[in-house]
Every structure is written in structure tokens, then in C-alpha cells.
Chain A
Amino acid sequence: MHIMEGFLPVKHAIGWGVAAAPFVAYGIYSVKKQIAANPEQRMLLGVAAAFSFVLSALKIPSVTGSCSHPTGTGLGALLFGPAAMAPVGAVVLLFQALLLAHGGLTTLGANIFSMAIVGPFAAYAVFKLARSLKASLAVSVFLAASLADLLTYVTTSVQLAMAFPDPLGGFMASFAKFAGIFAVTQIPLAISEGLLTVMIFNALARFNPKELQDMKLTDTAEVRA
């Protein structure tokens, strides 16, 4: 999902930067407020960031014959709300852009938008929907994390198709090409990300039942079950 350095035309690069900035700013405000209210959640925020750090470093082979990586933003979005992941994802992407030449500074806005904004908001919405439909906690977490992962890559395809419409087929033809690379490759990885997020969620629910209850993610009956 990393659009490479310099591979978005100037106007698009600036546009996505402007679109992403308010989310990052509000995310910082939101994180500060939550940590001030519950200082003991600081470590848990670190875990959410660390999870995204690990998962976005793992390039996993996929059935299409190319490699891609999960994003790990679903966990933090469920724990701290979708806005909180915008600054966290921005840090991960900045690290990769500066040290690894993976992604880039000019494409940072677009990459933040797909990975750290669309993904977390999708995770949050899917989780709420699944819970309201009485899906179990594990199933809800799985759906939230995997759809967030997939939508991140669909967003990247949209961004590239907007910047590089096909001379004949226009936006849709271009989108089909990019989605063929990103979204299809991502399907098994999205499933993996969903499963990994359920794993870490199980571990957190086992040892920190009180924190998760405070965050209104679980109720007592489910943690004990």
C-alpha cells in the first residue's frame, strides 16, 4: 500500500496531505485526552503502536505471486477509537519513509489516509455493526481487522487510479489494474491480519479484563467465558 516516493503528481500529493492533516491533529488531541483521563492506558497505547509496527514490517507471500504486508491498525482503532490511530500510523509510515525508503515524504499524506485513516475508521464501523448484529467478540474483531486491512489497499488503488487514469478506459480501467495488484494480493493477508488481531485481543482480554471492560469493548460474561 506504500505509494513510492515521488510517484504521486504534486497536486495529488498536496491534496492527500491536506486531507490527512486534520485527522492526525484531531487524533493527537484525542490520544492526549484519553491518556490524561486514564494514565494507566499509556502502556496499552504502546501495545497498539507496537502491533502496527510489527505487522507492517512483515512482508508475506500471497497467492498472486507477490508479497505485501498487513497494517495492524485495527487493534488500536478498537481500543482507542479510530482517530487515535492516525498519529500512530503516521509515525510508522514516517519511520519507513525516512529510514527504509519505503513509501515517501511526498506520498506520506496519501499513505496516512489509506492506512491510518480509512483502515481504522472501517475497523471501528465494522466492529460496531458486527456487535449490534450480536456477532461474538472474536468474530467482530476478526471482521473489523481484516476488512480494515482490505479497505486500506482498495484506497491505495483508488488514489493511484485518480492520479493515473487510463488514457482509454479512464479511472475505472486504471482502478481495475491497481486493485488487481493490491486488493487481490491482500485478500489472504487480510485474513491473516484478522486472525492475528483476534490472537492479541485474546491475550489482552485474558490478562487485562478490567481495562477492556473500561473501554466498553467486552462485558464481564464474555471475558469469563
Chain B
Amino acid sequence: MKRYQNLLLLIAVVVLGVAPLWLVDKQEAGPDGEEVAIFGGADDKAKGVISEIDPDYQPWFEPLIEPASGEIASMLFALQAALGAGFIGYYLGVARTREKMKRDAEGNEDAAGR
């Protein structure tokens, strides 16, 4: 069980992420014929609620730089994830090798001691 724990956890994460794609029905197109987008960001939805509660509210500050397109934004997000994942992978590789070398060294000492 312990041995397969991480594999089982990974499967559970994937299921949790993929299941909504089936569970959520695509909404009917509105009266104006425009399709209602699903799986947009929750942050954007909150923006909609703000303008519902307070229609007069005007954001008083604009982002300094905005990614020029959706493609560039997803590139930057991918870069963010890649940098993080790269570092974690490097660390685990170093830690694994270190542990293996330590174990080998201990094994040699035992052999020499006999």
C-alpha cells in the first residue's frame, strides 16, 4: 500500500481534475446566439459579481503590463510551472543520489570491517 501510495494519489488528482469535464453540461446558447463559455476563471466570475452588486464601480488602477495575447499568457504560466517543477525534480534527484551514495559507503565500510 505504502509503495503504491503516490501512484494512487496521482490517479486521484487526475480523476478530480478530469471528472468535471464530463459532469458539467455545456449551457444552451443565450438569446443573442452567443455561446456561454464554461471553465472560465473563477477570478473573472468574481469580477462579474462585483459589477452586479455595484454597477458604478470603476477599477482605479490598470495592470502595468498585460500579456499581449492568450497564447503569451499560457506560455508564461507554463514557464512558471516549468521553473518550479524543474527545481523540485533537481532537488529530488540530488537527494536520491546522496542517499544512495551514503548507503553504498556504509555497505563498503561494513565489508571492510569484516
- Residues of A whose CB lies within 8 Å of any CB of B are 1-7, 9-10, 43-44, 46-47, 49-68, 95-102, 104-106, 138, 156, 160, 164-167, 174, 177-178, 181-182, 185-186, 188-189, 191-192, 195-196, 198-200, 202-204, 207-208, 225
Say if the beta carbon of B107 comes within 8 Å of chain A: no
Report the count of interface residues on B (CB-CB < 8 A): 56
Q: Pick from A1, A4, A106, A199: contact of B10, CB below 8 A.
A: A199
Q: Pick from B12, B40, B53, B65: contact of A98, CB below 8 A.
A: B65
- Bound CA span A102–B64, Å: 11
- Bound CA span A3–B50, Å: 11
A5 with B59, Cβ < 8 A, contacts A57-B77, A98-B65, A164-B53 known: yes
- Bound CA span A20–B93, Å: 36
The prevalent SS among residues of A at the interface is helix
- Bound CA span A65–B25, Å: 8
A63 with B20, Cβ < 8 A, contacts A6-B59, A192-B13, A200-B88 known: yes
- Residues of B whose CB lies within 8 Å of any CB of A are 2, 5-6, 9-10, 12-13, 16-17, 19-21, 23-24, 38-43, 45-47, 49-50, 53-54, 57, 59-67, 73, 76-78, 80-81, 83-88, 91-92, 94-96, 98-99
- Bound CA span A198–B49, Å: 35
Min distance, Cβ A90 to any Cβ of chain B, angstroms: 15
The reply to whether A203 and B92 form a contact with Cβ atoms under 8 Å apart is yes
Q: What residues of B have a CB within 8 angstroms of the CB of A64 in the complex?
A: 24, 42
Of listed B2, B50, B96, residue having the most chain A CB within 10 A? B50
Min distance, Cβ A135 to any Cβ of chain B, angstroms: 16
The reply to whether A100 and B62 form a contact with Cβ atoms under 8 Å apart is no
Return the chain B residue nearest A100 by Cβ. Answer: B76
The reply to whether A4 and B47 form a contact with Cβ atoms under 8 Å apart is yes
Q: What residues of B have a CB within 8 angstroms of the CB of A204 in the complex?
A: 95
A61 with B39, Cβ < 8 A, contacts A164-B54, A202-B5 known: yes
The reply to whether B88 and A188 form a contact with Cβ atoms under 8 Å apart is no
The reply to whether A202 and B91 form a contact with Cβ atoms under 8 Å apart is no
Min distance, Cβ A92 to any Cβ of chain B, angstroms: 8
Return the chain B residue nearest A56 by Cβ. Answer: B80
- Bound CA span A65–B38, Å: 6
The reply to whether B9 and A6 form a contact with Cβ atoms under 8 Å apart is no
The reply to whether A68 and B9 form a contact with Cβ atoms under 8 Å apart is no
The reply to whether A207 and B20 form a contact with Cβ atoms under 8 Å apart is no
- Bound CA span A164–B50, Å: 7
Min distance, Cβ A199 to any Cβ of chain B, angstroms: 5
The reply to whether A62 and B20 form a contact with Cβ atoms under 8 Å apart is yes
Q: What residues of B have a CB within 8 angstroms of the CB of A9 in the complex?
A: 60
The reply to whether B6 and A203 form a contact with Cβ atoms under 8 Å apart is yes
Min distance, Cβ B101 to any Cβ of chain A, angstroms: 12
Return the chain A residue nearest B43 by Cβ. Answer: A2
Q: What residues of B have a CB within 8 angstroms of the CB of A67 in the complex?
A: 39-42
